[in-house]
Structure 1
Amino acid sequence: MSTWKLLALLAVVAGPVGYWMLSGSGVSPSAAYAQQAAQATQARTQLDPNLIAPAEQLSKAFREVAKSVKPSVVSIKSLVERRNVAQRGGMRGFPQGLPPEIERFLGPGFGLPDMQPEEELAGPEGMVQLGLGSGVIVRQDGYILTNNHVVANATELEVYLSDDTKYVAKVIGTDPRTDLAVLKIDATGLIATPVGDSSKVEVGDWAIAIGSPFGLAQTVTAGIISATKRTDQGITPYDDFIQTDAAINPGNSGGPLLNLRGEIIGINTAIASRGGGYNGVCFAVPSNTASRVLSDLISNGTVSRGFIGVRPASMSPEIAKQLGLPVDLKGALVESVTKGMPADKAGIRAKDVIVQIDGVAIKSDSAMRRAIGETKPGTTVNVKVYRDSKTIDIPVTVELLDEKALAASDRQPIQNIQRALGFAVDSVPANIAKRLQLEPGEGIIVTEISRRSRIPGLKVGDVILSVNGTAVNSVDDFADAVGEVRGGEALSLVIRDENSERMITVR
């Protein structure tokens, strides 16, 4: 029986009883109700304007921020060309759920534009919506800040202003390493929202988020700054997020996080969630990071970053104990050094722990990446490392980041990849390969899944056939394919089990 039918039935049953109870004349309310009525009357007389004035002033501040920023906040639709999709063995479409730990919205839906099922992308040629996100106009000549994952893989981008005027946007540049992108629309008379100084943001400050959650344009939510400098969230290589409890949901990605002066202090990017919805833990890229990326992308189309050629990992008491280091040692553990790169030339070694760069404490791998990345190429920095129970100062000349060199130095060992994704893989046993009709050596099998797995719908016993279109026939193939996925890019796995073959896509 449906809820509506149940409620209707209850109304019918209760009707005669209620009529019998109230049909008599002069039935008085209970003593408890009379007491509540008296209290309400008294409270009404005590609603002193002076008492509520501070609250009304705060309410007015929220109203004025919303009014001042409204013309700057846009909705972004990402479109792709409809295409024919080859179905193999009953391949199902993309699942609608996203990783339970860190949700990315393609205004996404961190709104991730919600991915459409694969079968909905099949059919005649044309355009179909891939996702919906948000953005904010930061220059009157039409430049818009948003998230990279809002625009990634789109064939065309439609931008809608607050009055629903539609523009087709041009991508000026993207930066997957911070999950930011800059778009431009050909329009005049636009209102731009000023970019504030995120270094002045403090825990407890009010925060306002505006965007298009679930396609509901110009939705305003408020909360406080819960934390700053949130690192190691696994969202981007340069994690340094502002955390807020202002409600952010699918569709909010790329929209602004604002202070009470109506200034952008962050770009809403992700949420932490166990079930895919708002749980009060939301993350925004700080405005100071966004400003630098914005300037570089507008000027050069790319972001210039420093690079020294090490693959870092964050320290933990467990890792320190394994390596015979002090358990309270903080820093970036050097897992490997790329031959011929600046760190190698300077004498930095694997298993060194970088604890300072130019006098600034380094407490995580993302902190090291940011410190080097924000250093102008050609600059020599002093890197303090912990080695053999003592610290050593090593001067290193920073070079311009090269993506190919970075890929070589950044390639993760399979253990790190499995830890990050939350599942383990191995070669497919012969009996299972035969049962699933696999070719000899085809695919790898999922042998273990942790509670923190970021891949929804994955099961022990599933066989992974490909990663982002690249066939994986060994654990090394899997490590190489996953290692090619950069921050902000999607990870698509083709999975086979005893019942079907399906695709899982996460960001």
Structure 2
Amino acid sequence: MQNQSRDGEHPSNSILSNTADTKYHNRAPWKKAAASLSLVLLGSGMTLAGGYMAGHSQQMSENASNLAVSRVNAAPPLAAGTDPNFVIQVVQKVGPAVVRIDSSRTVKTQIPDEFNDPLFQRFFGSQMPEQQSNRVERGTGSGFIISADGRILTNAHVVDGADTVTVTLKDGRSFKGKVLGKDDLTDVAVVKIQADNLPLVALGNSDKLQPGEWAIAIGNPLGLDNTVTTGIISATGRSSNQIGAPDKRVEYIQTDAAINPGNSGGPLLNYRGEVIAMNTAIIQGAQGLGFAIPINTAQRISSQLIATGKVEHPYLGIQMVGLTPQLKQNINSDPNSGLSVNEDKGVLVVKVVPNSPAAKAGIRAGDVIQKLGGQAVTDASSVQKVVENSQVGGDLRLELRRNGQNLNIAVQPGAFPTQPTQVQ
């Protein structure tokens, strides 16, 4: 199977929000996702207190006494010469700036029209359900303070659809929070509370991270406030496709520090106590497979949210897959593929969204992108990265092959549509 990515398409089968296991039956190999993993969002899904499991209605208990205790995600041994108290020092430094975020929303439920049938009313009488009822859905996550006047970073899914947001500090003080903005494509949100002289975190540089570095997580998993766990950076640059979240635009940091529902939005720290990432998801049924949003990404998105309340993501409007000789053979031998490929390397355009920037520039299904913005590209994630770092309305040059011919095309990335129906 090959990695397939949608630039500009909003998949209806979002693993992060709707379905845990996305199956692709009776589809050509180039239409299969590289990973169909079950992810658990670590914060409030507004359907469960303490977090929600994607695609399942499984309740996560907030009662620690109901949790099975097992020895997993144990901290690795200290390296020779390392201060044995460095974790304590980090916690004392950063802990007061880590907060709990409780959110709730009221959901109105309407009974089906069938219940208005006189036949139903005749047989069920007073047992008929009310025409409309309300229920309150609650969720809990984490966050960290980035300004002394009360700006807090967290995950978008922690506050998604919330009517009320309550922020509780480590010292016990609680404040009503206001969502300044959220970005679903990166799962970043900014919450503001009315307070001054608050403790705040120091931000690191996630671009310089290397696998094997120390990682410290602080958050509120499963209702256990101010929990600290340690591990290492297991990997960097994990694409959203690799972890089964094709509707996101993040290159995740992987860690084996123990994180659980309720940790979402909390900081992942280095040994100096600098925030290097924001914890966001784990893979269901696995151990030591946690994923966090790099702080450089979160900081870039939060700056736009603070300034304008929204984020503009550049997009082209293509569905694409990294090309290999084996994939070329599969496509050319499939009479139903509708494509014919002559190249062995590059990124194959599988589909072009109608009326998208790519369509307006003349890009076609079957084109093989070899360079984008002057950079050689070999897989879908590398194209996505170049596009994300471009400017809406700017010029982006593509070097591609079409029917054995070299073509140079200029395309102007547009702003990613906010409504899924606009890109289908």
Provide Cα deviations, 1:357-394, integer angstroms capped at 9, x if missing partner. Answer: 22334344344233213311222122222433465432
Unaligned ranges ≥5, structure 2: 1-76, 115-130, 333-340
Alpha-carbon distance in 1 for matches of 2:215, 2:342:
39
2:94 — aligned with what? 69
Q: Is 1:308 aligned with 2:319?
A: no
Alpha-carbon distance in 1 for matches of 2:322, 2:144:
34
Q: Is the 8 A contact 2:369 2:377 kept in 1?
A: yes
Alpha-carbon distance in 2 for matches of 1:53, 1:207:
12
Alpha-carbon distance in 1 for matches of 2:268, 2:260:
13
Alpha-carbon distance in 2 for matches of 1:367, 1:156:
39
Alpha-carbon distance in 1 for matches of 2:113, 2:92:
51
Alpha-carbon distance in 1 for matches of 2:284, 2:145:
29
Letter in 2 for 1:264: V
Q: Is the 8 A contact 1:204 1:225 kept in 2?
A: yes
Q: CA deviation at 1:293?
A: 0.3
- Which segment is superposed worse, 339-348 or 262-271? 339-348
2:235 — aligned with what? 227
Q: 1:250 aligns with which of 261, 266, 284?
A: 261
Which structure has more RCO (C-alpha within 8 Å, separation ≥ 6)? 2
Alpha-carbon distance in 1 for matches of 2:148, 2:364:
49
Letter in 1 for 2:278: I
Q: CA deviation at 1:328?
A: 6.1
Unaligned ranges ≥5, structure 1: 1-51, 90-121, 412-507
Q: Is 1:273 aligned with 2:284?
A: yes
Q: Is 1:376 aligned with 2:386?
A: no
2:291 — aligned with what? 283
Alpha-carbon distance in 2 for matches of 1:282, 1:385:
37
Q: Is the 8 A contact 2:323 2:344 kept in 1?
A: no
Residues 194/123 of structure 1: CA separation in 2 closer, same or farther (3 Å cut)? farther
Alpha-carbon distance in 2 for matches of 1:398, 1:85:
41
1:261 — aligned with what? 272
Q: CA deviation at 1:322?
A: 2.5
**TM-score by structure 1 length?**
0.58
Q: CA deviation at 1:54?
A: 6.7
Q: What SS does the aligned partner of 2:385 have?
A: helix
Root-mean-square deviation over aligned CA pairs = 3.0
Residues 234/53 of structure 1: CA separation in 2 closer, same or farther (3 Å cut)? closer
Letter in 2 for 1:64: Q
Q: 2:345 aligns with which of 303, 317, 329?
A: 329
Structure with greater helix percent: 1
Letter in 2 for 1:338: V
Letter in 2 for 1:244: T
Letter in 1 for 2:156: N
Residues 129/329 of structure 1: CA separation in 2 closer, same or farther (3 Å cut)? same
2:410 — aligned with what? 395
**TM-score by structure 2 length?**
0.68
Q: 2:162 aligns with which of 126, 151, 154?
A: 154
Q: Is the 8 A contact 2:397 2:410 kept in 1?
A: yes
Alpha-carbon distance in 2 for matches of 1:262, 1:200:
15
Q: Give the number of the structure whose alpha-carbon radius of gyration is greater.
A: 1
Letter in 2 for 1:382: R
Letter in 2 for 1:134: S
Residues 334/408 of structure 1: CA separation in 2 closer, same or farther (3 Å cut)? farther
Residues 307/125 of structure 1: CA separation in 2 closer, same or farther (3 Å cut)? closer
Q: Is the 8 A contact 1:238 1:366 kept in 2?
A: no
Q: Aligned pairs, how many?
A: 322
Q: CA deviation at 1:124?
A: 8.1
Residues 341/88 of structure 1: CA separation in 2 closer, same or farther (3 Å cut)? closer
